């Protein structure tokens, strides 16, 4: 806990005194830690003077921010209009099945994968599309999706 607070303070400190810094400061934390730990908001208040309530309000307003830890590989399955009409639902099902995600869970027990459905990745002519980390995969079908996941699994092993 103490270590996290120190680390958070180091991330947050450079934003002190900047106008309009709420979103950039949250983005900086998430870039480093993968999510916004609960202590983030108090640290933001202490270091920058932005009220914790305001930072939390902003964090929960925007789709980008998450308050739960993420797996090592963040899988963003696109559900934009083009992907939707070309079967993104099937891709989501395939990912869930293949990773063994049950019920509401979106992160695997070993913290290797987190699944997220996103509005649009802007690669509509290659629909359906998913993104793992910074890499985008297009023209997906169930088989291809499974192969991609297997490849990541092999890398982890």
Partner 1 sequence: MAEKTILIGYASCGIAAGAKDVREMLEAKVAEADCGAVVKQTGCLGICFDEPIVEIHDDTGRWVYRKVNERKAERIFNEHVVDGKPIEGFLFQELSEHSSREPKYHMFKQQERIALRNSGVIDPENIDDYLAREGYDALKKALTEMTPDDVLQEVSDSGLRGRGGGGFPAGFKWSLCKKFESDQKYLICNADEGDPGAFMDRNLLEGDPHAVLEGMALAAYVIGASFGYVYARAEYPLAIHRLNIAIDQAREKGILGRNIFGSDFSFDIKVKEGAGAFVCGEETALIASIEGERGMPRIRPPFPAESGLWGKPTNNNNVETYANVPWIIRNGAAAYKAYGTEKSSGTKVFSLAGKIERGGLVEVPMGMPLREVIFDVGGGIERKQQFKAVQLGGPSGGCVPAELLDTPVDYDSIVATGAIMGSGGMVVMDQNTCMVEVARYFLSFTQKESCGKCTFCRIGTLRMLEVLERITQGQGKESDIEELESLADQIKGASLCGLGQTAPNPVLTTLKYFRHEYEAHIRNKACPAGQCKELITFHITADDCTGCTACAKACPTDCITGSKGNPHDIVLEDCIKCGSCREVCPTGAVYTR
Output the smallest distance, CB 108 to partner 1, in A.
Answer: 17
Output the smallest distance, CB 3 to partner 1, in A.
Answer: 27
Name which of 109 and 133 has its Cβ closer to partner 1.
133
Name which of 2 and 93 has its Cβ closer to partner 1.
93
Distance in angstroms (rounded) separating the CA atoms of residues 17 and 38: 23
CA dihedral 112, 103, 143, 129 (to 10 degrees): -80
Q: Which residues bind partner 1 (CB under 8 A)?
A: 19-24, 26-27, 50, 57-58, 61-65, 79-82, 84-87, 89-90, 93-94, 97, 118-127, 129, 134, 136-139, 141-143
Distance in angstroms (rounded) separating the CA atoms of residues 72 and 143: 23
CA dihedral 50, 56, 62, 63 (to 10 degrees): 140
Retrieve residue 72's tokens. Answer: 């090592």
Output the smallest distance, CB 8 to partner 1, in A.
Answer: 18
């Amino acid at each position: 806990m103490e270590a996290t607070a120190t680390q958070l303070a180091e991330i947050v400190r450079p934003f002190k005194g900047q106008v309009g810094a709420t979103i950039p400061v949250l983005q900086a934390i998430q870039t480093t830690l993968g999510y916004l730990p609960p202590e983030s908001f108090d640290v933001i208040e202490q270091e920058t003077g932005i009220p914790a309530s305001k930072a939390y309000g902003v964090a929960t307003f925007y789709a980008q921010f998450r308050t739960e830890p993420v797996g090592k590989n963040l899988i963003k399955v696109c559900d934009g209009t083009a992907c939707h009409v070309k079967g993104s639902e099937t891709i989501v099902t395939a990912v869930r099945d293949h990773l063994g995600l049950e019920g509401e869970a979106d992160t695997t027990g070993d913290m290797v994968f987190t699944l997220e459905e996103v509005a649009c990745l802007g690669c509509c002519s290659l629909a359906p599309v998913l993104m793992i980390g910074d890499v985008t995969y297009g023209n997906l079908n169930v088989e291809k999706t499974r192969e991609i996941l297997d490849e990541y699994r092999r890398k982890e092993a």
